[in-house]
Structure 1
Amino acid sequence: VDLATAVDITLVTSEVQLIDSDQKGPLGHGLSALLLGRSSVSRKGIFVVPGLIDADYCGVIKIMVYTLTPPITIPAQSKIAQLVPFRACVPKAHAVERGHGGFGSTGQPQVLLAVDIARGKPEERVTMAHPSGQSLTMSMLIDTGADVTIIP
């Protein structure tokens, strides 16, 4: 299923941009879909970042794009992506209210940290902030030999 842009957009940097498409979810019939770029678009220097549209996603389907040669203008109604529908074959867990957020809006918040760990077992000062305004600062051991981070 071809997916067209809903708006005109000019890519002025090489960073990934979100573009509203002309389609909304849910897709219907319990279908999920892979969002892929059309090969003709890649030849023009516009690259679509592949994505997954869940069967229960509600809202405008967004297309993630970037270019290595800005500026490039993409007119509204340009068919730059396609949806490849499929039926997920995994057991159902439980219903989760998704809303219209998209891009990981249903999971628990994640804390991701990138640090140079060339030196052995380094420590890093980390501040954890809660939306209520409370914060906690502590030293954290970055253990490169473990599959979990230990916060003493």
Structure 2
Amino acid sequence: SGSAGLDLAASQSAIIQDQSVNILPTRVYGPLPAGFCALLIGCSSTSKAGLFVLPGVIDTNYTGEIKIMAWTPTSPCTIPAGEHIAQLILLPNVQGEKGDSVLGQQRGSAGFGSTGLPRIFWTQKVTTGQPMLTCKVNGRVFTGLVDTGADVSII
């Protein structure tokens, strides 16, 4: 109803024993709704508890299981099955001239990789002010803060 995204939970219990990145299953599978990609980020309560979810982009045509990458600086860390630790935030998928995705390749079920050549669509010098971006997609206007101030995620 009022949530910004879909909460994702670990589908099985896990104990993180060290500071390496752990891949946690969710039993949630793609593809995403037509015309959307998604940003996977951690819940604020998860970060407050000392478990950090590494952000990731889920392509619109990804058909595999959506998994969560997480780590903790203070091990061991126990994650019970069913614990909501991440959020999936749907975003409009950028379309090319012919309606194809910008990258023009099928993702399939192969996760944690990259498709296509690197591209830069927009840059802005970050100064002491907080940069804002306004984007118009299919007649809808989206305005938001570009620098989250966390020195980790710049969207």
TM (norm. structure 1) is 0.65
Q: 2:44 aligns with which of 34, 39, 45?
A: 39
* 1:83 has 2:88 as partner: yes
1:16 and 2:53 aligned: no
Larger Rg: 1
Contact 1:3 1:22 in 2 (8 A): no
Aligned partners of 1:13, 1:81: CA distance in 2, in Å?
A: 20
Task: Tell me which protein shows more strand as a share of its residues.
Answer: 1
Partner of 1:96: 105
Task: Mark the runs of 5 or more structure 1 residues left unpaired by the alignment.
Answer: 109-152
Unaligned runs of 5+ in 2: 1-5, 118-155
Over aligned residues, Cα RMSD in angstroms? 1.8
Q: Comparing 47-56 with 13-22, which one deviates more in the overlay?
A: 13-22
Could you give the per-residue CA deviations for residues 86-117 of structure 1, whole angstroms, max 9, x where no partner exists?
Answer: 11223135753433111116458xxxxxxxxx
Q: List structure 1 runs of 4+ shifted beyond 6 angstroms.
A: none
**May I ask how many residue pairs the two structures share in their alignment?**
108
Question: What is the aligned partner in structure 2 of residue 142 from structure 1?
Answer: none
Q: Which amino acid in structure 2 is aligned with residue 43 of structure 1?
A: K
Structure-2-length-normalised TM-score:
0.64
**Cα pair 1:6 1:21 within 8 Å, conserved:** yes
Q: Identity percentage over the alignment?
A: 44
Letter in 2 for 1:63: I
Letter in 1 for 2:31: P
Q: Do the aligned partners of residues 85 and 76 (structure 1) sit closer, same or farther apart at CA in structure 2, a change above 3 Å counting?
A: same
Residue 22 of structure 1: how far off its partner (Å): 3.1
